[in-house]
Structure 1
């Protein structure tokens, strides 16, 4: 039985019809079960940079989210290009083998927020105060904000068989995602926790990873439909391995920020979504880097 239609209401504080409230009592932010859950997430994020909440959605909501994702998939912008882990152009002045000169095939696609209906399960989750309050608590932040970016705040990542996301970093310090459809094989999430920091890029170790010379620092997660993942992707190199079989991999990505007004970088937006807006052009002119890391 489908979940009753509802708009993505920013004033909504209860996701009880969508989220398994027994295991994840978002409606009781100060209750003992919620405090225990938050402490567990904080500990996992501190230790490994990732916290996975299995079975976050109620079965009916998960089924609806999957169906909505399948219906949205035809709106996906696909691109196939060779990129490095930093989404920067080649620099011949750098030595061969430098990770900034190691280019990999990226063959994934995205459905952007502006075409995701307001009553979609993933949109309702993204804007809900209960969700933002929970994510902020797990990150030990007083508050977080939705992206101001008209495209990137909420996206559905669509990966048909044969596609992959190569090694990369996220623009934001953290990301929240939820799988809605699992492929038959492949599509594993691999990451190297904290391989770089604001103090340095650690090009030597990153180079060994992207050149395929070692797997020692790599963690592997096989996500299941309905799993919610909190991940510190700004400092952890990560990728999604090639999808195999006949079923697409669908994942909703909820982009929040520690400050309001965040807009994605111009060139990266163009690469990922195939278009930019006036907001992106204006934001690029005002850009002031928060750190000295290469994107």
Structure 2
């Protein structure tokens, strides 16, 4: 399907307080999940997530809202904290007791920026979409839980990922079971989202398969060319994934909407500091009582 020519514009920010409903309800009838159409949509999303760990809802946001979200992201992008570091898929230190070819000892360059949630104003359309209870109920239904919760993390609940030309996010896992994202600006080239669905599972790191991908095996790799206005629900806790290097002169912007199946989710202090350049008292407090039930490495 050809890209919408209106999707990648970055106009002057519109006054979002008067903007009509941003969600394309004619295409995605999520306002009432009891309807036949909504139930069919949810069922289709659940089938895709079960089979592939990923579902992309093309044109989830109406064209007018895409333009406003693009403008907001562009306006907020200079607030991003950028970092450049070497990281393995687990965002951990290497292990000298393991061979250098082991996944824990294979590092890739991570160059990207994040606008933290506490730097995204309350009146923005970006935040209005994040707090939309219709979206939250829909996502909960898609991932098969009764309720999802906004992150308690004051920095990582809602963020804008900013990839400048040449930036990339190497192979990694997410700390949460699923992530919801929405592209607001495409790069001129590159920046493709690549993933290996279900390459690991609770209690099973499947290090041999992970190592093969890190050494160039493309057999399990799938690739997506996301467009502005596309909503993605993705099981990033179990799927190794990356964003390929951005090419050209144009930044790549993506909203990351942090929801969890349990209340009170706060990111790890070390990873938070690496991403945002700082931590809050909430991160320090959470670190004292953190336990991972799935035994997987972060």
Say if 2:72 and 2:126, in contact at 8 Å, map to a contact too. Answer: no
Say whether residues 1:155 and 2:159 are aligned partners.
yes
Say whether residues 1:192 and 2:196 are aligned partners.
yes
Corresponding position of 2:280: 277
Separation (CA, whole Å) in 2 of partners of 1:37 and 1:246 = 37
Say if 1:160 and 1:243, in contact at 8 Å, map to a contact too. Answer: yes
The structure 2 residue matched to 1:230, chosen from 221, 229, 233, is: 233
Structure 1, unmatched stretches of 5+, are 8-14
Using a 3 Å threshold, how does the CA distance of structure 1 residues 64 and 227 change in structure 2: closer, same or farther? same
Corresponding position of 1:5: 16
- Runs of 4 or more, structure 1, over 4 Å off, are 1-4
Using a 3 Å threshold, how does the CA distance of structure 1 residues 16 and 258 change in structure 2: closer, same or farther? farther
Residue 29 of structure 1: CA displacement?
1.8
What are the superposed Cα offsets for residues 205-262 of structure 1, whole Å, 9 maximum, x if unpaired?
10111122x1000000000000000000000000000000111100000010000000
Corresponding position of 1:19: 23
Corresponding position of 1:108: 112
Residue 125 of structure 1: CA displacement?
1.0
Say whether residues 1:68 and 2:90 are aligned partners.
no
**In the comparison of the two structures, how many residue pairs are matched?**
287
CA-based RMSD of the aligned residues comes to 1.5
Separation (CA, whole Å) in 2 of partners of 1:202 and 1:126 = 34
Residue 16 of structure 1: CA displacement?
6.3
Pairs within 5 Å for 1:249-288: 249-288=252-291
Corresponding position of 2:5: none
Residue 6 of structure 1: CA displacement?
3.3
Say if 2:203 and 2:294, in contact at 8 Å, map to a contact too. Answer: no
Say if 2:178 and 2:235, in contact at 8 Å, map to a contact too. Answer: yes
- Say which SS state the counterpart of residue 108 (structure 1) adopts: strand
Corresponding position of 2:4: none
Say if 2:16 and 2:68, in contact at 8 Å, map to a contact too. Answer: no
Separation (CA, whole Å) in 1 of partners of 2:14 and 2:32 = 22
- Say which SS state the counterpart of residue 166 (structure 1) adopts: strand
Separation (CA, whole Å) in 1 of partners of 2:45 and 2:190 = 26
Say whether residues 1:122 and 2:126 are aligned partners.
yes
Corresponding position of 1:247: 250
TM-score normalized with structure 1 length: 0.95
Q: Which has the higher mean CA deviation after the structures are superposed, 117-126 or 33-42? A: 117-126
Structure 2, unmatched stretches of 5+, are 1-11
Separation (CA, whole Å) in 1 of partners of 2:79 and 2:119 = 8
- Say which SS state the counterpart of residue 190 (structure 1) adopts: strand
Residue 96 of structure 1: CA displacement?
1.5
- Say which SS state the counterpart of residue 80 (structure 1) adopts: strand
TM-score normalized with structure 2 length: 0.94
Pairs within 5 Å for 1:172-187: 172-187=176-191
Residue 2 of structure 1: CA displacement?
7.2
